[in-house]
Amino acid sequence: MLNETATTITLPPRLAEQVKDYVQEGWFPDLNALIAEALRRYLEAHHSELTERFIHEDVEWGLRGDE
Amino acid sequence: MSKAVLDAGPLIHLAELKALDVLYDFDTLLLPETVGKEVAKYQRSALKYPNLKLSQVRAPGISTDLIILAQAFSLDQGEIEALAILELYPGFLFLTDDAAARLAAAQRGYSSHGTIGLLIRSVRVRRRTPDSVLKLLKDISRHSTLHIRPALMTEIVQRLEKEWAKSGD
C-alpha cells in the first residue's frame, strides 16, 4: 500500500447502489478499483484547458454561429 | 433547420435545467442506442419530452480507424456510436459536453457543441430571452451536473450581458 492514498467519499444512495451492482457483477474487483478508474477517466476527459477552449468556442457559436 | 447527433450530456443537462426547449428547432436529433440507454438511466424524462424530434438509431459497424481513435481518446461506447453515425451524416452537428469526444470529433472534421452553446444559441434563434438564459447560466452548477469553473462562468455571463445589451436582444 506504499503508493496508495486513503480517502473517504460519500455517495448519493442511488449512485452507491449502482456502484455496488457493478462490483457484484464482476466488472471491477472491488470498489477501490472502480472509483480509481472513474477518477482516471474523469481527469483524462476533462483537461481543464481543453474544456475551457471548447466552452469559449461554444459561446462564439451560440452568439454568431450559422450552422 | 439544424440536424444533430446527440451524446448523453446535453440531453441530461438540459433536462436538469428544464431547458430542453432549446432543441425544438432541430428538425432531426439522432440518439445512438447506447446513449439512449444512458439517458434512460439518469434522466428518463428527457426521452419523453414533447416536441423533440428524437430518433433512437443503431450505429453502423465501427471502422478500424474509429476504434483506434476511440482508444486514443478513451471514448465510451455512446460516444463511439455517435461518431460512427456521424460518418454517415458528416454535415450533422455533434452535441456533447465531453471534451475528449469533442476533440475526437474535431479530428474527424465534425462540428461539435455543448450545453452552454445550445443555451446561448437559443437567444440567437429567438427561442429564449437573454434574461432567461443568463439566469440558467448563473444557476447552472446548482441545478445541473454540468461542472464549470465558477470564475469562467462569471466571465461568460459578463461577456453575454455586454453582447446582448449592445445588440438590444
* Cα B93 to Cα B98: distance, rounded to the nearest angstrom: 14
* Cα B23 to Cα B128: distance, rounded to the nearest angstrom: 11
Convert the pLDDT of each residue in B124-138 to its tens digit: 999 999 999 999 999
A chain contacts of residue B147, beta-carbon cutoff 8 Å: 46
The pLDDT value recorded for residue B113 is 97
Examine residue A5 and state whether it is found in any structural domain, yes or no.
Answer: no
The dihedral sign for the CA sequence A21, A23, A25, A28: positive
Give the other-Cβ count within 10 Å of B65's Cβ.
10
Boundaries of every domain in chain B: 2-115, 129-167
Rounded to two decimals, the pTM is: 0.82
Query: Domain spanning B2-115 has what CATH number?
Result: 3.40.50.1010
* pLDDT over 90 at A40, yes or no: no
Domains in chain A: how many in total? 1
Cα angle, residue A62 at apex, residues B46 and B95 outer, rounded to 5°:
40
Residue in A50, A58, A67 closest to B116 by CB: A58
ipTM of the prediction: 0.92
Does A67 lie at the interface with B, CB-CB under 8 angstroms? yes
**HEC secondary structure over B93-138:** EEECCCHHHHHHHHHHCCCEECHHHHHHHHHHCCCCCHHHHHHHHH
Domain coverage including residue A29:
13-64
B62 grid coordinates: 465501427
Contacts of B15 (CB under 8 A, 6+ apart): B43, B45, B46, B49
* pLDDT higher at A58 or A45: A58
* Cα B37 to Cα B78: distance, rounded to the nearest angstrom: 9
B chain contacts of residue A50, beta-carbon cutoff 8 Å: 99, 103
Examine residue A54 and state whether it is found in any structural domain, yes or no.
Answer: yes
Phi, psi torsion values for B89, nearest 5 degrees: -130, 70
Considering chain B, what percentage of its residues have pLDDT values greater than 90? 80
Does A12 lie at the interface with B, CB-CB under 8 angstroms? no
Convert the pLDDT of each residue in B41-83 to its tens digit: 999 989 988 889 999 999 998 988 898 888 878 889 999 999 9
Examine residue A52 and state whether it is found in any structural domain, yes or no.
Answer: yes
Give the other-Cβ count within 10 Å of B163's Cβ.
17
Does B117 lie at the interface with A, CB-CB under 8 angstroms? yes
B86 grid coordinates: 456521424
